A and B are shown apart, each in its own frame.
Chain A
């Protein structure tokens, strides 16, 4: 349980970090280290050099932009959990954060680290996928951005290339007033890896009609999935049509099978958790009375 030797560098700027990354194929980025350090300890990863980006000022902070909240890659999960902007504008992220690891790992683990790691059962990638976030990347030759849909490819596999580093995550903010979120997951212990996780967000108009709806599944397939719920838009939410839309979306779900949960079990639980998450999101939105409605 001791890592193999490596060089450690802590660059002073993002440009310097990108320069270092570009020039060394055996270099890995470290931020909070909550996944990388165990992998080093078990020698599943043996980089020659670690580039510590945790204290880079360019990667810190949470800021609002028109229609979006931009979360810097090195924002600690614990910090995001307490952040008033995230709570108000990206409520789905605020709802799942208490389920990410334990308090001590959230104090070190970063939002960008969880994205770059791309664990198919992780909650933060699930939110990024469900809401259609953009992953903003930095490299020596400039900054780019790509939708979560293209970023997550497979289990712990992302489109990030050697020499690139996650800079920030751009979460879209829904313009509606009555927004509700729902989240459920099944795991062997609270905060352990989810076998199945479902996250939902619904916006309602003053008469309770569904203005926008997003539903995502984690832990089931080899990457987080966004399910098409567009058939529920424009009408009042009802359990029967929600169940129908979920069944249609989950019809040809390719579920993973492992020691803990079979594909059949995952598929069954996925349907149930999707229904519960949508219901919770709806109830959560419906409880928010719009101005003047009283």
Chain B
């Protein structure tokens, strides 16, 4: 079946068998290997991608069902080649990954959360990543990474005064 998908802002077409999951199509047809194949029956969360901004399991969706949605994979998060998104960078800073297998799914789940809410509580974060299994870190540093990213995003969104460095607008006047 001919399928047209919108992945990371780009329209791409391929001839895909109906039984092929979105996960396998992303990896094999579009060579986007960031979504990982773990359990392949909807338990582990390694294959998480964003569909219209919300995390879903790409192993529980067929590629032929995915047309018309905006699909975002981990490859679509970095602002430019060779750079990292705020959340990706926070995972590095806080040692939020060891083997890295669950990391794309974790980061996409966290991304969806922080798009809605940059002041999440610990419970919000735990709930957001509850569908993603990590067997290395014990989750502590992952939660820390999301908190750290949230803090950076909050600071980045706080308006700072214009004018000479180190002086507030009032002082500059």
- Which residues on A are within 8 Å of B, measured CB to CB? 1-8, 30, 33-34, 37-38, 40-42, 50, 52, 54, 78, 98, 101-105, 107-108, 190-191
Contacts and interface: CB of A to CB of B under 8 A. Distances in A.
B102 interface: no
Interface of B: 1, 17-19, 21, 24, 39-42, 45, 48, 51, 54-57, 59-62, 64-65, 109, 127-128, 130-131
Given A8-B64, A50-B18, A107-B55, A102 B41 contact: no
A108 B60 contact: yes
Contact of A52 (B19, B45, B65): B65
A37 B18 contact: no
Contacts of B55: 103-104, 107
B130 A190 contact: yes
Contact of A104 (B17, B40, B45): B45
B40 A41 contact: yes
A2 B61 CA distance: 12
Contact of A37 (B17, B48, B54, B62): B62
Given A5-B19, A104-B55, 11 more contacts: A6-B18, A8-B18, A37-B41, A37-B62, A41-B40, A41-B41, A78-B54, A103-B109, A105-B42, A105-B57, A107-B56
A42 B59 CA distance: 12
A37 B48 CA distance: 15
Nearest to B55: A104
Nearest to B105: A104
Given A5-B17, A6-B18, A52-B65, A104 B59 contact: no
11 contacts: A5-B18, A8-B64, A33-B62, A37-B61, A41-B21, A103-B109, A104-B45, A104-B48, A104-B131, A105-B60, A108-B57
Contacts of B109: 103-104
A105 B41 CA distance: 12
Nearest to B18: A8
A117 to B, nearest CB: 13
Contacts of A105: 42, 56-57, 60, 131
Given A1-B41, A42-B41, A103 B130 contact: yes
A191 B130 contact: yes
Given A5-B19, A38-B42, A50-B18, A104 B56 contact: yes
Nearest to B52: A107
A25 to B, nearest CB: 19
Contacts of B59: 37, 41
A102 B64 CA distance: 24
A108 B62 contact: no
Nearest to A76: B54
Nearest to A2: B19
Contacts of B19: 2-6, 40
Given A37-B60, A38-B42, A102 B131 contact: yes
A114 to B, nearest CB: 14
Contacts of B48: 104
A191 B128 CA distance: 12
A7 B18 contact: yes
A254 B127 CA distance: 34
A38 B19 CA distance: 12
Contacts of A50: 18
B62 A8 contact: yes
Most buried by A among B45, B56, B59, B128: B56
Contacts of B62: 8, 33, 37
